[in-house]
Structure 1
Amino acid sequence: MKTEELTTIEHLSNFLEGTQAVAFTISSDKDKRYRWLQKELVRFDYLSLNKPDKGIVIRYLLKVSGYSRQQLTRLIAQYRKTGRLSRQQRTTAGFKRRYTDRDIRLLAEMDERHDTPCGHAIKKLCERAYQVFGQSDYETLAGISVSHLYNLRQSNAYQRQRRTFEKTRPKSSTIGERRKPCSNGQPGYIRIDTVHQGDLDKQKGVYHINAVDEVTQFEVVCCVERISERYLIPALEQLLETFPFMVQGFHSDNGSEYINRKVAKLLEKLRIEFTKSRPRHSNDNALAESKNGAVVRKLFGYEHIPQRWAPQINAFNHEYLNPYLNYHRPVFFQQQPRMPRASSARPMPTPI
């Protein structure tokens, strides 16, 4: 049975309920589909039907035509108003470009000649080129706005013509004092550094935090998953509590894991002096660097260790590694040489 054999509302209802098999094909051509819709509306005398029957006809047209409910509603409104369905599609080429690639190249050349001044300056230069010096090529650019001038600078045509790079501008941090720590022979001045346990398939490994006292060589090693504030602050609190004496100084390199407000707030709360390494002075934190190789790398190696093992490694360090380093492993460090005692005996006479 074909759609032409559906002649009554009852036939349409049975078709929608799926109790009647109907073979139908709708052309992909939009004009033919519009003509088919108009033919069906005329065949069932849609305008004279009551509301329930109109609903059945609409459901039938939705199922067969494949149009959305909104589109079909607009088409029925057009049929009710004009008595026919006709396509009113208008294809346009879009908005006409005001500033062409030629104008963008002129802008790039002007920027290159004047070393890329600000937008207001380059706008005035384009105006002078056209109004004062009579260069008709700059007629369009003479009326450009400053904001749209920056848009043209970001376009692909401009970037192909001229691409500029700026060096990273260093910004000094007021956190910590940039100097070498001075312990004056007293314990409690620690040097600290971070050791990363390798990458694997773009996945970061664990991080070891190694802290060494400058005078007594007392060493504490902790392990964290990441060096973010969430993991680092608890590790630092555990590290400071492990030292058997009061920590008075905290010296690190210029890594962002230590040079931040959270760490500075923690050290300020404990009244600990915060210092950081100076530029071109690699020996400022050499003590911690040497312990990284002699202790951490020698024990854990250089291979990747997944971050999920950080809690187990940290527990191992707290229970076994730190006691071994500080109570069982010999540590050699420089001591002040003893001055010879003054002799009370008379000096021997020099032989003649």
Structure 2
Amino acid sequence: MDETRLTTIAQIEQFLVASAVVQFTPSQNDEERYAHISRVLKRFDYPRLGKADKGVLLRYLGHTSGYSRQQLTRLVSRWQSNRLAPTPLVKRYMAPNAPFARKYTSADMALLLEMDRANEDVCAPAIVRLFWRAFHEYGDPRYERLASLSSSHLYNLRKSTSYQLRRVSLIKTRAVCNPIGQRRVPRPDGRAGFVRVDTVHQGDLDGVKGVYHITCVDAVSQWQVQSCVQGISEAYLLPVLGLVIGQFPFQVIGFHSDNGSEFINRQVAKLLEKLRIEQTKSRARHSNDNALAESKNASVVRKHMGYSHIPQKYAKPINAFYENVFNPWLNMHRPCLFASELVDPNPSLSTFR
């Protein structure tokens, strides 16, 4: 486009109005666009224009060059600083001809892997010291670059993809060594009083917890006691747990639960020890150790209480309903089947049916 005939600000305004709906495709060459901006600014003597005229000229340059208003402001500022030069606007940046050189090569990564394997992944300062000694004291030229490695950058090298692909360490799940309770299945030997315990959460609503139901069922007689608490912390659980144990018509001898912290803690252990009740907990990789209580969660709790969120403020009335109405009906006024126990000759196994 030959725009040299535009010599006044009035002509520029008419051009902008006439070409408002016309889409220009500026040249992708920054040098050509820089030259166009320099010619227009020089032809209209930009430094002597008023504020309104400068705004019109900037709109025109943005329309024809494709640059944003912010970029044009920077280019105009540079042009005013260098307008006496032969080429006031020049491109000041360019893509690098070659990528940045790596300081630590693949051979260095191999030495790092070898050192880590030999010393079982000790801390970074120790590895850095070993590199320094290998080069300065033992004169091994392979460690020349690694001798100046910092501890912080050593961790960066360990996080790199090349290191992670070659160095894979697998750690087995560590067993939780909690001395509270014994890891074994209770052996009632046909006696009532060995109860299984589990908790059921009544859903969340907008990040707010609902009530918790506590299921306690005897392993032999199937006598079941339900209760409800606001939370599973010791402030709510301990008082209700004492009431639950008191609702059984026989003496509770054993108390079995999973490994949840709501029951495996010092406060509950102290309460059970005071009542002379044996505390046991489920074994690792034996999902059926507490299956009796977990099955009651679905067949009793979810069947009658549902899955919807129940606010914590209703814990006390629900607990009163359990104690006065639900538990008597659950154990006295519904058809029940009583389990029979067959003890396997193998003392480590027992079968219930």
**TM-score by shorter chain over 0.5:** yes
Amino acid across the alignment from 2:291: E
**Which whole-Å CA distance do the structure 1 matches of 2:11 and 2:231 have between them?**
72
2:307 is matched with which residue: 306, 310, 315? 310
**Structure 2 match to 1:254:** 258
C-alpha distance 282-73 of structure 1, shift in aligned 2 (>3 A): closer
1:100-131 deviation per Cα after TM superposition (whole angstroms, max 9, x unaligned): 22211111112223333332332222222212
Q: Which runs of 5+ in 2 are unaligned?
A: 202-211, 311-317, 342-353
Deviation of 1:73 after TM superposition, in Å, equals 1.7
**Structure 2 match to 1:169:** 174
Alignment of 1:89 with 2:93, yes or no, is yes
1:135-172 deviation per Cα after TM superposition (whole angstroms, max 9, x unaligned): 11110111111222122112111122222222233343
**Which whole-Å CA distance do the structure 1 matches of 2:16 and 2:73 have between them?**
19
Amino acid across the alignment from 1:49: L
**Which whole-Å CA distance do the structure 2 matches of 1:149 and 1:51 have between them?**
57
**Which whole-Å CA distance do the structure 1 matches of 2:170 and 2:157 have between them?**
17
C-alpha distance 333-36 of structure 1, shift in aligned 2 (>3 A): same
Amino acid across the alignment from 1:107: L
Deviation of 1:53 after TM superposition, in Å, equals 0.7
Q: Indicate conservation of the 8 Å contact 1:26/1:64, yes or no.
A: yes
**Structure 1 match to 2:116:** 111
Deviation of 1:310 after TM superposition, in Å, equals 0.6
Amino acid across the alignment from 2:76: I
Q: Indicate conservation of the 8 Å contact 2:245/2:252, yes or no.
A: no
**Which whole-Å CA distance do the structure 1 matches of 2:286 and 2:91 have between them?**
78
**Structure 2 match to 1:143:** 148
Aligned CA RMSD, in angstroms, stands at 5.1
**Structure 2 match to 1:130:** 135
Deviation of 1:258 after TM superposition, in Å, equals 3.7
Q: Number of aligned pairs?
A: 307
**Structure 2 match to 1:343:** none
**Which whole-Å CA distance do the structure 2 matches of 1:44 and 1:269 have between them?**
93
C-alpha distance 86-334 of structure 1, shift in aligned 2 (>3 A): closer
Amino acid across the alignment from 1:52: A
Q: Partner of 1:56: helix, strand, or coil?
A: helix
**Which whole-Å CA distance do the structure 2 matches of 1:187 and 1:250 have between them?**
9
**Structure 2 match to 1:121:** 126
Q: Partner of 1:28: helix, strand, or coil?
A: coil
Q: Indicate conservation of the 8 Å contact 1:210/1:219, yes or no.
A: yes
**Which whole-Å CA distance do the structure 2 matches of 1:8 and 1:320 have between them?**
95
Q: 1:166-205 maps to which residues of 2 (within 5 A)?
A: 166-173=171-178, 176-178=180-182, 190-193=195-198
**Which whole-Å CA distance do the structure 1 matches of 2:18 and 2:254 have between them?**
81
Amino acid across the alignment from 2:307: A
Q: Indicate conservation of the 8 Å contact 1:252/1:258, yes or no.
A: no
2:104 is matched with which residue: 99, 105, 109? 99
Q: 1:141-290 maps to which residues of 2 (within 5 A)?
A: 141-173=146-178, 176-178=180-182, 190-193=195-198, 210-213=215-218, 217-220=222-225, 245=247, 251-256=255-260, 258-259=262-263, 275-277=279-281, 279=283, 289-290=291-292
1:294-325 deviation per Cα after TM superposition (whole angstroms, max 9, x unaligned): x667x59xxxx9xx951399x9x979986654
Alignment of 1:330 with 2:332, yes or no, is no
**Which whole-Å CA distance do the structure 1 matches of 2:23 and 2:293 have between them?**
83
Q: Indicate conservation of the 8 Å contact 1:187/1:215, yes or no.
A: yes
Amino acid across the alignment from 1:311: S
Q: Partner of 2:26: helix, strand, or coil?
A: coil
Q: Partner of 1:67: helix, strand, or coil?
A: coil
Residue identity (%): 34
Amino acid across the alignment from 1:121: A
TM-score, structure 2 as length reference: 0.64
**Which whole-Å CA distance do the structure 2 matches of 1:12 and 1:94 have between them?**
45
**Structure 2 match to 1:346:** none
1:260-293 deviation per Cα after TM superposition (whole angstroms, max 9, x unaligned): 77xx77898999879341648979x85x534655
Amino acid across the alignment from 1:82: N
Q: Which runs of 5+ in 1 are unaligned?
A: 197-206, 336-352
**Which whole-Å CA distance do the structure 2 matches of 1:61 and 1:193 have between them?**
75
**Which whole-Å CA distance do the structure 2 matches of 1:170 and 1:7 have between them?**
85
**Which whole-Å CA distance do the structure 1 matches of 2:103 and 2:243 have between them?**
69
**Which whole-Å CA distance do the structure 2 matches of 1:41 and 1:280 have between them?**
80
**Which whole-Å CA distance do the structure 2 matches of 1:167 and 1:239 have between them?**
36
Q: 1:7-26 maps to which residues of 2 (within 5 A)?
A: 7-17=7-17, 24-26=24-26
Q: Indicate conservation of the 8 Å contact 2:196/2:293, yes or no.
A: no
**Which whole-Å CA distance do the structure 2 matches of 1:47 and 1:330 have between them?**
99
Deviation of 1:76 after TM superposition, in Å, equals 0.8
Amino acid across the alignment from 1:8: T
TM-score, structure 1 as length reference: 0.65
Deviation of 1:334 after TM superposition, in Å, equals 7.3
